[in-house]
Amino acid sequence: MNLRPIVNNDGSTVIPLTRRAGGIQAYKFVLRPRAEDAEPDLRTHDGYDWVFVLNGRLRLLLGEHDLLLEPGEVVEFDTQTPHWFGATRSGPVEFLSLIGPQGEKAHIRAAPTRRT
């Protein structure tokens, strides 16, 4: 797998962070604000997505919801739900994304319980 950044025509950058084939893949996204008249293009695909915002504010259109995520916030969803990511007018946004096959979720492990 090529781990070189991918720079798109809109100025967004996608940086693959994993090399292995199959299973959950990790990416870092850097999105620039778009023109105010640009219409979001909601997409669907097979899989499950987990997103963690590093810097900036992330606008996520998810089905009928319009969410604004701040640094440190997390969202996870089935990618069969129409979705779109974007930066706000306040500036670029950086976020991590784990994308897994349909039905595979990132597992959150809680701290062990203390014995008394």
Q: What is the CATH number of the domain that holds 66?
A: 2.60.120.10
Three-class secondary structure of residue 63 per DSSP = coil
Residue 42 lies in a domain: yes
Residue 16 lies in a domain: yes
Give residue 111's pLDDT.
67
Structural domain boundaries, residue 51: 6-100
pTM over 0.85: no
* CA dist list (Å): 41 to 22, 38, 44: 27, 9, 10
Q: Is the pLDDT of residue 103 over 60?
A: no
pLDDT in tens, 60-99: 999 999 999 999 999 999 999 999 999 999 999 999 999 9
The count of structural domains within the chain is 1
Residue 106 lies in a domain: no
Give residue 77's pLDDT.
93
Residue 65 has which token pair? Answer: 């919801």
Residue 115 lies in a domain: no
